[in-house]
Amino acid sequence: MTERVTVRIEEGVADVRLSRPDKMNALDPAMFDALAATIDDLKARTDVRCVVLSGEGRAFCAGLDMAAMASGGSGIDLDSRTHGIANLAQYVAWGWRELPMPVIAALHGVVLGGGLQIASGADVRIAHPATRLAIRELHWGIVPDMAGIALWRTLARDDVLRELTYTAREFDAVAAAEYGLVTRVSEDPLGEAMALARDIAGRNPHAIRGAKRLYNLAADSDAAGALRAESDEQLKLLRSPNQMEQVMANMEKRAARFID
C-alpha cells in the first residue's frame, strides 16, 4: 500500500507486512498513517476472509521510533477521537480488532512497546520462541496508550500485566504464551500463520465474521446480552446460502464454494 506497509491478497488471505526493515519496523509518523490506511482499506473489502500481519526483516516491530517522532512531531492528537472511539495511535492497534475478518499476527525478532500493542489487536498471535517482547512504555516514563490496556484485559491476568508494565522488562515468547499474550510458539510463525489463515478462509465467511463479532462484544456484555447476540447471529446464518453450501460440501466431501 505504501513504502511502510505492503499488502498482497491471494485466495481470500491478505498478507500484510510492516515494511521498514532497516529500522526493525519501528513506528514513525508515516508508519502510523500507513497502518491506519491499511486497516481502513481492509474494512471495506468483502474478498478478504483472513489477514496475516507480520514484519519484514529482523523484527515484527521495535515500537516507537523515538528520534523520528521527536524530530518530525508525531502529528497525533491524543485527546481527539479521530478514528471512532480511538485516536490514531490507538487505532493502529485497536483497528485490527474492528476488522470484520480474523487477523493472525506472526511474530519474530522483537515486539516491543507499540509493537506489542499492535500485535495484541490480532485475534491470534503465533511467535518464534526467540522473540523478545515487552510492555516497554515505562522505560520512557510513559504509560501504554496504543489500546494495550483495552486489548490485554481479555488476554492476560491483571497482576501479570501490572508487573510487566511497571517493570518494562523483556520476556520471551515461551513466557508470553504462559502469560496469555501469545497464542502459541512456532519455529515458523509466518508459515503457520498463513496455513491457519487458509484454513479459516475455507470456512463460511459469514459465520467466521459472526463469531468474531460475538467474541468482540464478550468482554463488555452481560450474560443476557451475550445470549441475545448468539441467537441473533445464528438466526442470520441458519439456512443461508453459505450455511447450506457448508453442509453440502461436508456431505459430498469437497471444498465449499462460498459467496462473499
**CB atoms closer than 10 angstroms to residue 242:** 18
Only one residue has cell 495511535, namely 89
CA distances from 47 to 14, 51, 150, 174, 214 (A): 9, 11, 29, 35, 21
Terminal-to-terminal C-alpha distance of the chain: 23
Residue 47: per-residue pLDDT: 95
CA distances from 211 to 203, 221, 229, 232, 243 (A): 12, 15, 10, 11, 14
Q: Which three cell numbers stand for residue 153?
A: 484485559
Residue 12: per-residue pLDDT: 97
Indicate if the pLDDT at residue 1 is higher than 60. Answer: no
Q: What is the pLDDT of residues 57-66, one digit of tens each?
A: 999 999 999 8
The sign of the CA dihedral 55, 60, 66, 70 is positive
Please tell me what DSSP assigns to residue 164: H
Residue 72: per-residue pLDDT: 55
Amino acid at 48: V
CATH 1.10.12.10 residue ranges for the chain: 204-252
Do the bridges between strand 110-112 and strand 13-18 make them parallel or antiparallel, or are there none, so unpaired? unpaired
Q: What is the pLDDT of residues 13-52, one digit of tens each?
A: 999 999 999 999 999 999 999 999 999 999 999 999 999 9
CATH of 5-200, one of 3.40.1710.10, 2.40.37.10, 3.90.226.10, 2.60.40.10: 3.90.226.10
What's the CATH number for 204-252?
1.10.12.10
| Sequence-ordered list of residues with C-beta below 8 angstroms from that of 259, at least 6 positions apart, any chain | 241, 242, 245
Q: What is the pLDDT of residues 203-235, one digit of tens each?
A: 999 999 999 999 999 989 999 999 999 999 999
**Mean pLDDT score of the chain, rounded to an integer?**
96
- At residue 106, the 3 state secondary structure works out as strand
Residue 67: per-residue pLDDT: 80
Mean pLDDT across 145-158 = 97
